[in-house]
């Protein structure tokens, strides 16, 4: 069954905010929900720039820029390490996110090309 959200912790001592948080799993999840709002807002902003990046690509093969994608992942891992986030968590999250943005950008490019906007023709 799922853990109770209003019961005290079962072991250890609180680690966040110099031990001020957290007294219940509900309090933990309230903070995770607050951060997810920010993360999604930032991802939406990131997505608008990924959309913009498509305008600089001459053909669908250019959308997936593997060297840049790898550099983005490696940078996130280094930033994570400096910020106290597990680099493995950052790597997995960034690989999945960049993959999803590549698919998104491919869709943006394909739609522009089929409108006759992007100056690239399939065949
Ligand atoms: O930098 C680009 O060319 C982008 O299209 C952005 C982005 C990214 O999400 O950071 C997406 C696709 C490429 O694989 C590389 C990076």
pLDDT tens for 81-108 read 999 999 999 999 999 999 999 999 999 9
Ligand 1 atom nearest 66 alpha carbon: 14
Please say if the pLDDT value at position 121 is more than 80: no
Structure tokens at 16: 């966040």
Supply the pLDDT for residue 79. Answer: 98
Ligand 1 atom nearest 72 alpha carbon: 10
**Which is nearest to 75 in space by CA: 95, 57, 56, 103?**
95
ipTM of the predicted structure?
A: 0.98
Q: Which residues pair with 16 in a beta bridge?
A: 21
Residue with CA closest to ligand 1 atom 6: 50
**CA of residue 2 to ligand 1 center, whole Å:** 39
Ligand 1 atom nearest 64 alpha carbon: 14
pLDDT tens for 26-40 read 999 999 999 999 999
Cα separation of 75 and 94, whole Å? 10
Check if the beta carbon of residue 77 is closer than 8 Å to that of residue 87.
yes
Q: Give phi and psi for 4, each to the nearest 5.
A: -65, 145
Cα separation of 15 and 48, whole Å? 36
Which stretches of the chain are DSSP H helices?
Answer: 25-54, 60-63, 66-83, 87-114
């Amino acid at each position: 069954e799922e853990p109770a959200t209003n019961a005290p912790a079962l072991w250890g001592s609180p680690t966040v905010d110099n031990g001020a948080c957290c007294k219940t799993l509900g309090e933990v999840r309230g903070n995770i929900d607050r951060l997810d709002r920010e993360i999604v807002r930032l991802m939406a902003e990131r997505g608008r720039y990924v959309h913009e990046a498509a305008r600089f690509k001459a053909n669908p093969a250019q959308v997936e820029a593997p060297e840049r994608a790898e550099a983005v992942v490696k940078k996130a891992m280094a930033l994570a390490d400096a910020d106290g986030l597990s680099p493995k968590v950052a790597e997995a999250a960034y690989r999945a996110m960049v993959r999803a943005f590549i698919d998104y950008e491919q869709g943006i490019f394909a739609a522009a090309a089929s409108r006759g906007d992007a100056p690239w023709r399939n065949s």
